[in-house]
Chains A and B, each alone.
Chain A
Amino acid sequence: MAESTSPAPFHDVIVVGAGPAALSAAIYTTREDIDTLLFERGAIGGLAAITDKIDNYPGFPDGVAGLQLADDLRAQAERFGAKIELGEVTAIHDEGKYKRLETTSGDMLARAVLIATGSDYKKIGVPGEAEYYGRGVHYCATCDGAFYREKRLVVVGGGNSAVQEALFLTRFATHIDLLVRSTLKASDVLLRELAAHSDKITVHLGTTTDEIVATDGMVTKVIGTHEGQRIEFDTDGVFVFVGLVPNSQFLAGTTIELDEVGFVKTDENLATTMPGVFAAGDIRSGATMQVASAVGEGATAALKIREYLERPATEA
């Protein structure tokens, strides 16, 4: 289906990202013989891939490891012919019939583009966080938890991710202080599991994280505040899970409209304000930040892209 007289590599569809939304879309487009290339700068499978266990993805009564789900989605997409390139898209230009993407592998052309770059873990922005990144401050429990065998830890956050990762870290740490700024906002299942691990995890509601302190370059304590009182938590490391920020920096300066936070605005067809460019998954303004939703949006986007590609060139 793909053809072009341009020297730049050409694809019917370029998907920016290779998380659940992107891979789901690729399954649909490639099954219809639409030439599809995915560009991924990080982990294939996105944040889902570095999540220990996903308990609310339909079809897995006992939950599924994020890594396994990511690998299965990827294998399914590749079975139908999706190509995944490791690299980064740095800009998108609207050239009418084609979109030109600046990438770390050079310029590429596509008739349609799906932005599915997802989001990344948010920083708390307190003193010590950036200074001791990787030396006591971490954002990936499944990657770095093993360094804290028989150690004390602080986990910051009160959502599903924070509770899930705190539970994961109990396999290594002797004790975990879970610092929750307001109240816990995790699922009932996770809250029951949390209660079952009360011997290892102490929950501190209404507690802010104000500073991460190190001695000789290694993290030794976290300073927080509860009801106006300063509290110190002795710890060997801090794992932060306080929400998500959109990976949309590369869209700055384009005609693709973002919301006030930086998520991509779309219409009911998941189309952005640049014709031929669609968005799905966590990057989309209004997204529910759920793997199941991302997969559904990826499928919807693929069908809308197919409609777009089937339009006469004068309409596209």
Chain B
Amino acid sequence: MSKNVTVYTTNNCKFCAMVKQYFDTKGVAYDVVNVEEHPERQKEVLELSGMLSVPVTNVVDENGSSKVIVGYNIAELNAAVAA
């Protein structure tokens, strides 16, 4: 099942790099939104997660159902990819 994955990041965020590396390892394609380079999109992070913090990952399945993962959380990333 294909999923749309978006990872919200900043320039120097190691945990963001880890999330991207996780998806690279799994062979899962993803879009990156760098909210440091595009501060106008920071509100998306707050709307999705309720937090002003990255990484935030939004995994949307074919039915449009969204799963939001805050931080680098392997268990939640695994569940979101597998579901």
Residues of chain A at the chain B interface (Cβ within 8 Å): 41-45, 49-50, 52, 65-67, 70, 86-88, 104, 133-136, 138, 140, 142-147, 149, 237
* Closest beta carbon of chain A to B51's beta carbon, Å: 3
Task: Determine if B74 and A146 form an interchain contact, defined as CB atoms under 8 angstroms apart.
Answer: no
Chain A residues positioned under 8 Å from B39 (CB to CB): 146, 149
B57 interfacial by beta-carbon distance below 8 Å: no
Given known contacts A43-B18, A134-B70, A146-B35, A67 and B53 CB-to-CB distance under 8 angstroms: no
- Among A66, A87, A144, the residue within 8 A (CB) of B53 is A144
Count of A-B contacts judged by CB separation below 8 Å: 78
**In the complex, which residues 4-54 of chain B have their Cβ closer than 8 Å to any Cβ of chain A?**
10-18, 22, 25, 35-36, 39, 42, 45, 49-54
Chain A residues positioned under 8 Å from B74 (CB to CB): 41, 86-88, 104
* Closest beta carbon of chain B to A51's beta carbon, Å: 9
Given the complex of chains A and B, what is the CA–CA distance between A52 and B70 in angstroms? 21
Chain A residues positioned under 8 Å from B72 (CB to CB): 42-43
Q: Nearest 6 A-B pairs (CB), nearest first?
A: A134-B51, A146-B36, A142-B12, A49-B14, A134-B53, A143-B13
Chain B residues positioned under 8 Å from A88 (CB to CB): 74
Given known contacts A87-B74, A135-B51, A237-B52, A144 and B18 CB-to-CB distance under 8 angstroms: no
Residues of chain B at the chain A interface (Cβ within 8 Å): 10-18, 22, 25, 35-36, 39, 42, 45, 49-55, 70, 72, 74-75
- Among A49, A52, A147, A237, the residue within 8 A (CB) of B35 is A147
Given the complex of chains A and B, what is the CA–CA distance between A49 and B12 in angstroms? 9
Closest to A218 in B: B52
| A-B residue pairs in contact (CB < 8 Å), sample of 15 | A42-B15, A43-B17, A43-B72, A49-B14, A67-B12, A87-B74, A88-B74, A104-B74, A134-B50, A135-B50, A136-B52, A143-B12, A144-B10, A144-B53, A146-B36
Given known contacts A41-B74, A147-B35, A147-B42, A70 and B52 CB-to-CB distance under 8 angstroms: no
Beyond A135-B50, A136-B52, A142-B13, 16 extra complex contacts between A and B, CB < 8 Å: A43-B15, A65-B12, A86-B18, A134-B49, A134-B51, A135-B51, A138-B52, A142-B12, A142-B14, A143-B12, A143-B55, A144-B10, A144-B13, A144-B52, A146-B11, A146-B36
